[in-house]
Amino acid sequence: MSPGVLSALVCGAGVGAGLWLVVRGLFPPRPSLAQALAQLRRVPDPAPLVAAEPDGGLAARLGLPIARLLGRSDAWWLVPGKVRQDLAVLGRSPERHLAEKATLALVGLLVAPAVTVLLALGGVHLSLVVPVWASLVLLAGGFFLPDLGIRTEAARRRTDFRHALSSFLDLVVVALAGGGGVETALSDAASVGSGWAFDNLRQALDQARLARETPWAALGRLGHQLGVDELTELAASVALAGTEGAKVRASLAAKATSLRTHQLAEAETADQAATERMALPVVLLFAGFLFFLGYPAVEKVLGAL
Residue-wise pLDDT tens digits, 89-133: 888 888 888 888 888 888 888 888 888 888 888 777 777 788 788
For residue 204, is it within any domain? yes
For residue 8, what pLDDT band results from cuts at 50, 70 and 90?
low
Q: What are phi and psi of 53, to 5 degrees?
A: -75, 155
Same domain, 130 and 179: no
Alpha helices in 122-244 (DSSP H): 129-177, 182-192, 196-211, 215-226, 229-241
For residue 57, is it within any domain? yes
Which residues have a Cβ under 8 Å from the Cβ of 171 and sit 6 or more positions away? 188, 189, 192, 193
For residue 244, is it within any domain? yes
What average pLDDT does this structure show over 189-199?
A: 84
Same domain, 91 and 135: yes
Please answer whether residues 219 and 204 qualify as being in contact, where contact means their C-beta atoms are separated by less than 8 angstroms: yes
Nearest to 89 by CA among 227, 233, 263: 227
Q: How many domains does the chain have?
A: 2
Same domain, 135 and 220: no
Same domain, 139 and 104: yes
**Percentage of the chain lying above the pLDDT 90 cut:** 0
For residue 102, is it within any domain? yes
Same domain, 61 and 138: yes
What is the C-alpha to C-alpha distance for residues 182 and 78, in angstroms, rounded to an integer?
Answer: 40
For residue 295, is it within any domain? no
Domain end residue (candidates: 150, 173, 200): 150
Among 16-20, 133-137, 245-249, 265-269, which range has the highest average pLDDT?
A: 133-137
Domain end residue (candidates: 98, 125, 150): 150
Residue-number span of the structural domain to which 88 is assigned: 19-24+48-150
For residue 33, is it within any domain? no
In the chain, the amino acid numbered 166 is S
Same domain, 175 and 236: yes
For residue 292, is it within any domain? no
Domain end residue (candidates: 150, 176, 191): 150
In the chain, the amino acid numbered 64 is L
For residue 262, is it within any domain? no
